[in-house]
Amino acid sequence: MLILNNIPALLVAIPLLASAVVSVLPSARIAWGVAFVTTLCCLYMAFELTEIVSASLTLSYAFGGWEPPWGIAFVVDGANVHLVLLVAFISVIATVYALSTLKHEIAVEDLPKAYAVWLLTIASLFGLSMTGDAFNLFVFLEISALSSITLIALGAGQDRRALLAAYNYLIIGAIGATFYVIGVGYLYAATGTLNLLDIIKRLNEIGTNQAAVTGLAFMLAGIMVKAGVFPVHIWLPAAYSFAPSAVSSLLSAIATKVAIYYLARILFGIFIDTTHLIDLFLLFVLMPVSVIAIFYGTIAAIYQIDIKRLFALSSIAQIGYITFAFSINTHSGISAGFIHLINHALIKGALFMAVGIFAIGIGQRATMNSLRGVGRQMPITFTGFVIAGLALIGVPLTAGFISKLYLFKAIFETGNGIYVAVIAVSSALSVIYLWKIFEVMWLQEPLQPLKIEKESVVACVSLWLLVFTIITFGIYSAGVSSYGMNAANALIGVR
């Protein structure tokens, strides 16, 4: 019972403590073992958490018995319970994947420290996805930023540009965090509280307030930087493309997703009664920006030679889909956004894993030239890669199709058919870059004879676990779509 009652706290505390332990362990293998067991424990607890928090229930966990609004509270409800599960699931799989890939990419003596930072990142992501306290969120944002910057910088062993990418992320991330904390300051001045639920209540009492609006604007801007929303995404492509492949798949799958979740929480939660401002923001800022992001990311990806960077750019477009769905500002729009949030995490995680396996196999960066003919040499990985790629396009029987289906539904319900064209055209454009890769890898002859290391079984297993999940969600969507419903219910009420 002690465990069950304290799951929200333990989900953060266990990886945090394990991270301290791992950092002093002598051997990389033991360090990995501890990390793996830790993530497994977290996955188990996340499952328990979904049991506890059924669709209607909101679990509020007060740290140290200090009831909110005085103490720090974690809130788990329909909007984030499956996000926690997603974070736990991806971190287990990414940790398995790291076992066989990280040793190729960073020096062996650095491995225990790398796993320590790895766990720290995971702990902060759990914190981000559960906290109900505006300032506490800032703390987790900083932990997550600093630890992921360290992980990205570890890519420098392979390519020195990783250092620049990490530095960029550091600076831009710090600016974002500053914006966020300024916003929190304003809101605190206006309401005298830091607890999100409490802020909502107070704001409803005092009505619209200049300080609160300003604070909200700062907060949104700060979170958008972290979420990789279009104009402030510039740290993202380099960071994902130069990080070690395990790090890329972990971060691309879940790091931006928790920020996006929090963005939705602010948009649809905080100003629950003065929605007019939020409506304007959604319609005149977020929607156009998302459309631009969708086309910018897709078209830039078409002209990209470096495969990891290509998928990082495609992430910009995919994040655009999610924010676009939010900006529709209806119940089905929000649930479509959450559905795609889950599905894209799985798809992009799988894609980065596959690209990592290819890169290790050929012993150099994966580009349109170096990957020629590699698909025929590594058929198992290639098949998984193709399935994930098809899911990215939104081909039926994959998870991506379910996302697209609900997105279409949300758009059709608004009666504004022009946006159907946006989605249809952009997914047709995404065929171009994926087809280019498939063609290069399957049909073209290598420039010089390939010397391919055999693909590691462990890495393939982790890739295929994700691919299997993608297919499962594609042919049986009840779970993920009910999550979308529940999330929308939790945020804007049952429709």
Q: Which residues lie near other proteins (CB under 8 A)?
A: 393-397, 402, 404-405, 408-409, 412-413, 420, 423-425, 427-428, 431, 435, 443, 474-477, 481
Minimal distance, residue 289 CB to other proteins, in Å: 23
Closer CB to other proteins, residue 69 or residue 394?
A: 394
Rounded Cα distance, 78 and 331, in Å: 14
Rounded Cα distance, 36 and 98, in Å: 10
In b/e form, how buried is each residue of 200-216, taking b as 16+ CB within 10 angstroms? bebbeeeeebeebbbbb
Write the CA distances from 252 to 7, 147, 159, integer angstroms.
26, 15, 19
Rounded Cα distance, 440 and 182, in Å: 49
Write the CA distances from 413 to 332, 409, 420, integer angstroms.
8, 6, 11
Closer CB to other proteins, residue 152 or residue 402?
A: 402
Minimal distance, residue 327 CB to other proteins, in Å: 19
Query: CB neighbours of 9 closer than 8 A, spacing ≥ 6?
Result: 61, 63, 74
Minimal distance, residue 31 CB to other proteins, in Å: 42
Both tokens of 488, joined, read 């929308």
- Does the CA dihedral 341-346-351-353 come out positive or negative? positive
Give the burial class of 222: count Cβ atoms within 10 A of its Cβ; 0-12 exposed, 13-18 middle, 19 or more buried. buried
Minimal distance, residue 304 CB to other proteins, in Å: 19
Beta carbons of 486 and 411 less than 8 angstroms apart? no
Closer CB to other proteins, residue 68 or residue 484?
A: 484
Instruction: Name the residue with tokens 């929000």.
Output: 334
Closer CB to other proteins, residue 405 or residue 458?
A: 405
Question: What letter represents residue 316's amino acid?
Answer: I
Beta carbons of 150 and 163 less than 8 angstroms apart? no
Minimal distance, residue 409 CB to other proteins, in Å: 5
Minimal distance, residue 316 CB to other proteins, in Å: 20
Rounded Cα distance, 414 and 270, in Å: 24
Minimal distance, residue 49 CB to other proteins, in Å: 26
Closer CB to other proteins, residue 283 or residue 443?
A: 443
Q: What separation, in Å, do the N-terminal and C-terminal C-alpha atoms of the chain show?
A: 35
Minimal distance, residue 390 CB to other proteins, in Å: 9
Rounded Cα distance, 232 and 293, in Å: 11
Closer CB to other proteins, residue 200 or residue 471?
A: 471
DSSP string, 324-374: HHHHT-SHHHHHHHHHHHHHHHHHHHHHHHHHHHHHHHHTS--BTTTTTTH
Minimal distance, residue 83 CB to other proteins, in Å: 21
Closer CB to other proteins, residue 21 or residue 395?
A: 395
Closer CB to other proteins, residue 95 or residue 398?
A: 398
- At residue 364, φ and ψ (nearest 5 deg) are -155, 175
Beta carbons of 95 and 41 less than 8 angstroms apart? no
Closer CB to other proteins, residue 375 or residue 474?
A: 474
Closer CB to other proteins, residue 107 or residue 420?
A: 420
Helix (H) or strand (E) run with residue 76 in it:
strand 73-76
Minimal distance, residue 474 CB to other proteins, in Å: 7
DSSP string, 168-179: HHHHHHHHHHHH
Rounded Cα distance, 332 and 266, in Å: 18
Closer CB to other proteins, residue 352 or residue 419?
A: 419
Closer CB to other proteins, residue 305 or residue 425?
A: 425
Minimal distance, residue 270 CB to other proteins, in Å: 31
Minimal distance, residue 394 CB to other proteins, in Å: 8
